[in-house]
């Protein structure tokens, strides 16, 4: 088993570190000598400092808002039993698996200039222009980030909270603690590891935000990730792009060490996960449930509904299937541009390959980490998460310059996309399987050994069935991650075989109601595909499985 | 001092408590004893204010407590799993309640010292609770429950998580500590040895109702129902064939007891010579301080203890036994 770990380690070495190091050395040591000029430029320039400050600032702000909304929601989910709770939690989690381009399309169809809310307000008050103008503002970026990450934080907090003994809180109440003192002295300190885990994860996701900023923020806003994209594609300034990438990777690695460390301490004892939820008895309890319903309905479900509605109504006064019908037509009649539906088929194939690769290598890695006793192996945990935190643009560009010449020549190979997606999907697989492995009672393994099962048979007969749920969850995550990946694909996809998100991005960027409608229809389809995979996640995810 | 009246509570239409009443006098230790699921913990939680009764009232010194929330009742509660705060050390755990009451720091420190002395944990202040043994945790939990000087102490299976030897020792210590602070106490347990060792008065519960309440020795010597007898491990229960003139007729003799169900108290059965009643030995078990002998006497199985270094008998032997008619007791069936 141990030797098998060479496969995923070699994969990461060849397809992550080799391209990243290649692009870094091309950028930072163009003549073979390390030059730190790019860093000097960055730190001396007001502009880059602003980009850095904005990246960290918006991530911090998004994290704070997300946690502030998720914390009371988690409390209500743990505390109260009410009808439709499971469905609500599932719907709240759906945004997390949606591609950024779909999220952008969803928000533009809800509160964009041509969105549902504005259309309604215009027709009611007979206005000449849309009253809500959030496009290209910080507000809409923050809303989208909360939309994405609310459920991530909610899940982590709920599973940690539900596995705590309700006696602790009762003991505190018996000793006179109530109200804010119960929160300050008992609940929050007990939740600390979960709060750190949730915050560092949300911060990581928002710090590296790319699609949301690029599409919803427009040219006014640039995170590091967007800036790297501009430097590479617009300005062809490789040294600056590499330096920015390196800064981002370092920063994220520190954060991930925090995250994986705290995740080990959030020991979710699945047996102990007590059901302390009760029907609400007081009007305050009932009111707080209504509050959560409104929050999830308004913030998370409304944009998804609006997307579906607009995909049938955009550009007309009534109801139309036109946008869907046009998806099978090559809009430019060009050899290089495939019809959108073909892109969807490409995406499905890429996602299937990604799922297989990510599940096989992810489960080997999870097993290695589960067995890990030494600090060196434990450091692999955050290292493995690094592709999540690496600029997708850097990775994509790294692929272009490192993998198209000997020793590894994959130039314009269709395999490049699933390989890149696997790097991003693998952390999700590992994080789904690892907690399942850690929750196996060690005496079960001892019992199997004493009965004669060891090595492969132990894995095949005992451990694998016990982590099967985690495995399915990981597979579904890998699938949706691949369906939605945009940053790296934008670089490495061949023009004649684009993925679905790339086509949506192209359509969104082109003028005209037809393109806009096409983007919405395509997004709606992509959303449905992800939702179907996601139903798989929900069916197999039991309480506490999966650290996302 | 404290009383609960006609407490009724059901969970999902299943009754957990039906009209249970009990009272505790100043300085008295009352044990709620019963099998798991008998409602004893629910009753304790209702008294604590952590659970609300469907009907019934809780009173303390002529103050109705029903509407007073748990954090303002000023009752101390110690949990079976101790519920020590893992993010706080021993000292912080013990003074938690004092902090909530806004007590001055030097007073807190003084109380902390007194409490740790009381439970024999001086110099444990800075220890992490995760580094403590089971017995030490139990003491910290007790010190924490006592620190606020509550009006009523509630203990939910406080020794449940400990091994037998430690349990015996700590039960005695626990009683001494509680008695030294003269606190009215309600103590929940399913272990009769523990209850007898700790309590002034034992209340036996079954299926959400009180079946017998008395001093430990009265309960032991005079169990009133078949349930109580069986719960205390006395299985010599005999169905009477018929009752004539106030005399119960059984296969092993006639006894002057007017009841359809009899308990042959194990303490009243002794080995005798051949002149006694003849019985066939079924089983001999060495208990350490005595032998437990089960015999078949006219088709009825009787178990009793015999105190000796050795017994010269094996299963299948025929022996003689004597039954003290004073320890043939009437039982109500349940």
Domain ranges of chain A: 2-170+179-540
Which pLDDT belongs to residue B21? 94
What fold does the segment set A2-170+179-540 form as a domain?
Answer: MetI-like fold (1.10.3720)
Please give, rounded to a whole number of angstroms, the shortest distance from the CA of A27 to a CA of chain B.
47
- Same structural domain for residues B111 and B135? yes
Dihedral Cα A192, A195, A197, A200, nearest 10 deg: -120
* Number of domains forming the structure of chain B: 2
Q: Which residues in chain B are contacts of A172 at CB distance < 8 A?
A: 85, 96, 100
User: Quick check: A186 contacting B, CB < 8 Å?
Assistant: yes
Strands B55-60 and B2-11: antiparallel
- Same structural domain for residues B139 and B184? yes
Q: Mark yes or no for CB contact A171/B99 under 8 Å.
A: no
- Which of B172, B189, B223 is the last residue before a domain boundary? B223
Q: Does B19 or A409 have the greater pLDDT score?
A: B19
- Same structural domain for residues B272 and B162? no
Closest among A150, A162, A165 to A73, alpha carbons compared: A150
Q: Which residues in chain B are contacts of A177 at CB distance < 8 A?
A: 71, 96, 100
* CATH number of B287's domain: 2.40.50.140
**Contacts by A368-371 with C-beta closer than 8 Å and gap 24+?**
A368/A2, A368/A5, A369/A430, A369/A434, A370/A434, A370/A437, A370/A438, A371/A2
Q: Mark yes or no for CB contact A174/B81 under 8 Å.
A: no
Interface of B with A (CB under 8 A): 48, 50, 69-77, 79, 81, 83, 85-88, 96-97, 99-101, 144-145, 148
Which pLDDT belongs to residue B42? 93
Alpha helices, DSSP H, located in A163-282 = 166-174, 179-182, 188-207, 211-212, 224-229, 238-265
Mean pLDDT (whole number) for B16-28: 93
Mean pLDDT (whole number) for B146-153: 92
Task: Report residue B216 CA to chain centroid gap.
Answer: 9
User: Quick check: A271 contacting B, CB < 8 Å?
Assistant: no
Q: Could you tell me the sign of the dihedral formed by the alpha carbons of B53, B55, B58, B63, in that order?
A: positive
Interface test with B, best of A81, A163, A173, A174 (most B CBs within 10 A): A174
As beta bridge partners, residue B75 has B152
- Same structural domain for residues B196 and B239? no
Its domain, for residue B74, covers 2-223
- Same structural domain for residues B244 and B294? yes
- Which residues contact residue A270 at a Cβ distance below 8 angstroms, ignoring those fewer than 6 apart? A163, A439, A542, A543, A544, A545
- Same structural domain for residues B61 and B171? yes
Please give, rounded to a whole number of angstroms, the shortest distance from the CA of B111 to a CA of chain A.
15
Instruction: Look up the pTM and report it.
Output: 0.80
Interface test with B, best of A165, A176, A178 (most B CBs within 10 A): A176
In the Cβ-directed half-sphere of A461, how many Cα atoms lie within 13 Å?
Answer: 13
Q: Mark yes or no for CB contact B85/A186 under 8 Å.
A: yes
Structure token digits, residue A222: 């640039």
Lowest mean pLDDT among A293-297, A366-370, B52-56, B209-213: A366-370
Q: Least CB-CB distance to A177: which of B50, B71, B76?
A: B71
Q: Is the peptide bond before A306 cis (omega within 30 degrees of 0)?
A: no
**Is 0.85 exceeded by the ipTM?**
no
Secondary structure class of A74 (helix, strand, coil): helix
Is residue A510 a contact partner of residue A434, using CB atoms and an 8 Å limit? no
- Which of B223, B248, B278 is the last residue before a domain boundary? B223
- Which residues contact residue A157 at a Cβ distance below 8 angstroms, ignoring those fewer than 6 apart? A70, A71, A74, A191, A194, A195, A198
Rank A369-378, B159-168, B294-303 by mean pLDDT and report only the highest. B294-303
Is residue B202 a contact partner of residue B144, using CB atoms and an 8 Å limit? no
> Which whole-number Å values give the CA distances from A175 to A186, A197, B137, B153, in the listed order?
12, 30, 17, 12
Q: Mark yes or no for CB contact B48/A165 under 8 Å.
A: no
Distance CA A91, CA B42 (A): 36
Residue A79 has phi, psi (to 5 degrees) of: -80, -40
Distance CA B90, CA B128 (A): 6
Distance CA A546, CA A1 (A): 23
DSSP string, A464-528: HHHHHHHHHHHHHHHHHHHHH--HHHHHHS-TTS--HHHHHHHHHHS-SHHHHHHHHHHHHHHHH
Q: Least CB-CB distance to B83: which of A165, A189, A192?
A: A165
User: Quick check: A53 contacting B, CB < 8 Å?
Assistant: no
SS3 content of chain B, % helix, strand, coil (to 5): 30, 35, 35
pLDDT over threshold 70, residue B174: yes
User: Quick check: A265 contacting B, CB < 8 Å?
Assistant: no
Q: Mark yes or no for CB contact A177/B87 under 8 Å.
A: no
Mean pLDDT (whole number) for B127-131: 90
Q: Which residues in chain B are contacts of A171 at CB distance < 8 A?
A: 77, 79, 83, 85, 144
- Within 10 A of B115 (CB to CB), how many other CB atoms are there? 25
> Which whole-number Å values give the CA distances from A383 to A8, A98, A259, A389, in the listed order?
12, 25, 12, 10
Q: Which residues in chain B are contacts of A165 at CB distance < 8 A?
A: 81, 83
Closest among A110, A141, A114 to A130, alpha carbons compared: A114
Secondary structure class of A109 (helix, strand, coil): helix
In chain A (548 residues long), the average pLDDT of successive 10-residue segments reads 79 86 81 77 84 90 94 89 81 78 81 80 80 81 90 84 83 89 90 86 86 80 84 80 85 81 60 62 86 87 85 73 72 62 84 91 86 75 80 81 71 80 88 80 79 77 80 84 84 80 80 77 84 72 49
Alpha helices, DSSP H, located in B119-215 = 134-147, 164-181, 192-198
Is residue B204 a contact partner of residue B34, using CB atoms and an 8 Å limit? yes
For chain B, how many residues are written?
Answer: 334
Structure token digits, residue A14: 């060849």
Distance CA B95, CA A185 (A): 12
Please give, rounded to a whole number of angstroms, the shortest distance from the CA of B209 to a CA of chain A.
25
Q: Mark yes or no for CB contact B76/A174 under 8 Å.
A: yes
- Same structural domain for residues B38 and B134? yes
Distance CA A37, CA A240 (A): 9
How open is the CA angle A491-A497-A501, to the nearest 5 degrees?
Answer: 60
Lowest mean pLDDT among A192-206, A410-424, B75-89, B134-148: A410-424
Q: Does A316 or B93 have the greater pLDDT score?
A: B93
Q: Least CB-CB distance to A173: which of B70, B87, B88?
A: B70
Q: Mark yes or no for CB contact A175/B97 under 8 Å.
A: yes
Give the number of A-B residue pairs with CB atoms closer than 8 Å.
Answer: 67
Distance CA B84, CA A175 (A): 12
User: Quick check: A176 contacting B, CB < 8 Å?
Assistant: yes
Which pLDDT belongs to residue A248? 86
- Same structural domain for residues B168 and B211? yes
User: Quick check: A167 contacting B, CB < 8 Å?
Assistant: yes
User: Quick check: A190 contacting B, CB < 8 Å?
Assistant: yes
Distance CA B106, CA A167 (A): 29
Please give, rounded to a whole number of angstroms, the shortest distance from the CA of B141 to a CA of chain A.
10
Q: Least CB-CB distance to B81: which of A165, A173, A190?
A: A165
- Same structural domain for residues B169 and B66? yes
Q: Mark yes or no for CB contact A189/B69 under 8 Å.
A: no
Distance CA A469, CA A541 (A): 6
Distance CA B250, CA B240 (A): 5
Please give, rounded to a whole number of angstroms, the shortest distance from the CA of B24 to a CA of chain A.
19
Could you tell me which chain B residue has the CA closest to the CA of A165?
A: B83
- Within 10 A of A461 (CB to CB), how many other CB atoms are there? 13
User: Quick check: A60 contacting B, CB < 8 Å?
Assistant: no
Please give, rounded to a whole number of angstroms, the shortest distance from the CA of B76 to a CA of chain A.
6
Please give, rounded to a whole number of angstroms, the shortest distance from the CA of B12 to a CA of chain A.
11
Please give, rounded to a whole number of angstroms, the shortest distance from the CA of B77 to a CA of chain A.
6
As beta bridge partners, residue B321 has B271, B277
Q: Which residues in chain A are contacts of B48 at CB distance < 8 A?
A: 170, 174
Closest among B239, B243, B270 to B258, alpha carbons compared: B243
Secondary structure class of B185 (helix, strand, coil): strand
**Which single residue is written with the structure tokens 């007729």?**
B249
Interface test with A, best of B41, B45, B46, B70 (most A CBs within 10 A): B70
Angle subtended by helix axes A340-371 and A513-540, to nearest 10: 30
Q: Mark yes or no for CB contact B83/A170 under 8 Å.
A: yes
- Which of B193, B223, B253 is the last residue before a domain boundary? B223
Which pLDDT belongs to residue B266? 93
Which pLDDT belongs to residue A459? 76
Q: Mark yes or no for CB contact A174/B99 under 8 Å.
A: no
- Same structural domain for residues B55 and B166? yes
Q: Which residues in chain B are contacts of A173 at CB distance < 8 A?
A: 50, 69-71
- Same structural domain for residues B119 and B215? yes
Q: Mark yes or no for CB contact A168/B85 under 8 Å.
A: yes
Which pLDDT belongs to residue A272? 45
């Amino acid at each position: 088993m141990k030797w098998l770990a060479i496969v995923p380690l070699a994969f990461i070495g060849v397809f992550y570190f080799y391209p990243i190091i290649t692009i870094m050395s091309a950028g930072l040591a163009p003549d073979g000598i390390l030059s730190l000029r790019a860093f000097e430029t960055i730190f001396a320039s007001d502009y880059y400092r602003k980009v850095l400050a904005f990246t960290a600032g918006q991530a911090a702000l998004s994290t704070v808002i997300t946690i502030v909304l998720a914390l009371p929601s988690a409390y209500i989910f743990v505390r109260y039993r009410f009808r439709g709770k499971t469905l609500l939690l599932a719907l709240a989690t759906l945004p997390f698996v949606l591609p950024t381009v779909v999220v952008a399309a969803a928000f533009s169809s809800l509160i964009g200039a041509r969105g549902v809310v504005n259309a309604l307000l215009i027709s009611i008050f007979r206005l000449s222009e849309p009253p809500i103008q959030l496009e290209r503002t910080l507000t809409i970026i923050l809303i989208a980030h909360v939309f994405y990450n609310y459920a991530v934080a909610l899940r982590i907090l709920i599973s940690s909270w539900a596995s705590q003994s309700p006696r602790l809180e009762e003991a505190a109440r018996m000793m006179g603690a109530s109200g804010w003192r119960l929160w300050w002295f008992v609940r929050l300190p007990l939740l600390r590891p979960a709060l750190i885990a949730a915050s560092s994860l949300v911060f990581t996701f928002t710090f590296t935000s790319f699609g949301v900023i690029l599409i919803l923020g427009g040219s006014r806003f640039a995170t590091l990730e967007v800036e790297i994209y501009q430097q590479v594609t617009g300005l062809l300034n490789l040294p600056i792009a590499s330096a920015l990438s390196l800064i981002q990777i370092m920063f994220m690695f520190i954060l991930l060490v925090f995250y994986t460390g705290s995740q080990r301490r959030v020991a979710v004892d699945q047996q102990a996960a007590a059901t302390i939820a009760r029907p609400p008895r007081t009007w305050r309890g009932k009111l707080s449930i209504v509050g959560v319903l409104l929050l999830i309905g308004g913030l998370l479900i409304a944009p998804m509904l609006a997307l579906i509605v607009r995909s049938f109504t955009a550009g007309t006064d009534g109801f139309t299937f036109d946008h869907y019908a046009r998806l099978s037509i090559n809009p430019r009649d060009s050899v290089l541009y495939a019809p959108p539906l073909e892109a969807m088929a490409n995406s499905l194939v890429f996602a299937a390959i990604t799922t297989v690769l990510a599940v096989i290598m992810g489960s080997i890695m999870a097993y290695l980490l589960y067995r890990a006793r030494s600090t060196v192996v434990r450091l692999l945990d955050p290292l493995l998460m690094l592709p999540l935190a690496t600029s997708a643009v850097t990775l994509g560009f790294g692929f272009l310059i490192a993998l198209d010449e000997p020793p590894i020549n994959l130039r314009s190979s269709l395999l490049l996309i699933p390989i890149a997606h696997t790097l991003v999907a693998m952390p999700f697989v590992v994080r789904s399987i690892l907690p399942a492995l850690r929750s196996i009672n060690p005496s079960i393994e001892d019992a199997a050994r004493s009965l004669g099962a060891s090595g492969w048979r132990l894995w095949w007969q005992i451990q694998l069935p016990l982590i099967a749920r985690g495995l399915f969850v990981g597979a579904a995550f890998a699938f949706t991650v691949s369906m939605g990946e945009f940053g790296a694909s934008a670089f490495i996809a061949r023009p004649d075989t684009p993925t679905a998100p790339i086509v949506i991005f192209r359509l969104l960027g082109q003028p005209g109601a037809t393109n806009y409608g096409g983007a919405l229809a395509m997004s709606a389809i992509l959303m449905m595909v992800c939702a179907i995979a996601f139903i798989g996640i929900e069916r197999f995810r039991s309480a506490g499985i999966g650290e996302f | 001092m404290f009383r609960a009246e006609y407490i009724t509570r059901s969970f999902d239409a299943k009754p957990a408590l039906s009209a249970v009443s009990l009272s505790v006098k100043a300085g008295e230790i009352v044990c709620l004893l019963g099998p798991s699921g008998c409602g004893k913990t629910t009753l304790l939680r209702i008294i604590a204010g952590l659970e609300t009764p469907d009907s019934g009232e809780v009173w303390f010194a002529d103050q109705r407590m029903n509407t007073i929330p748990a954090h303002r009742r000023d009752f101390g509660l110690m949990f079976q799993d101790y519920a020590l705060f893992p993010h706080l050390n021993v000292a912080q755990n013990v003074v938690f309640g004092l902090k909530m009451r806004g007590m001055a720091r030097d007073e807190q420190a003084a109380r902390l010292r007194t409490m740790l002395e009381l439970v024999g944990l001086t110099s444990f202040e800075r220890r992490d609770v995760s580094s403590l043994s089971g017995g030490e945790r139990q003491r910290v939990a007790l010190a924490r429950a006592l620190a606020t000087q509550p009006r009523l102490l509630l203990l939910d299976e406080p020794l449940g998580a400990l091994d037998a030897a430690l349990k015996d020792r700590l039960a005695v210590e626990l009683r001494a500590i509680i008695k030294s602070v003269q606190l009215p106490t309600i103590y929940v347990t399913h272990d009769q040895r523990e209850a007898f060792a700790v309590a002034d008065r034992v209340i036996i519960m079954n299926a959400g109702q009180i079946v017998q309440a008395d001093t430990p020795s009265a309960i032991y010597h005079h169990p009133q129902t078949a349930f109580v007898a069986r719960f205390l491990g006395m299985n010599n229960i005999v169905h009477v064939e018929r009752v004539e003139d106030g005399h119960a007729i059984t296969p092993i003799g006639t006894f002057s007891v007017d009841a359809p169900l009899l308990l042959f108290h194990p303490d009243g059965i002794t080995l005798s010579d051949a002149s006694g009643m003849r019985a066939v030995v079924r089983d001999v078990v060495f208990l350490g301080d005595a032998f437990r002998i089960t015999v078949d006497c006219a088709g009825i199985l009787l178990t009793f203890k015999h105190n000796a270094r050795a017994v010269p008998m094996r299963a299948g032997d025929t022996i003689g036994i004597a039954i003290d008619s004073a320890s043939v007791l009437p039982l109500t069936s349940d």
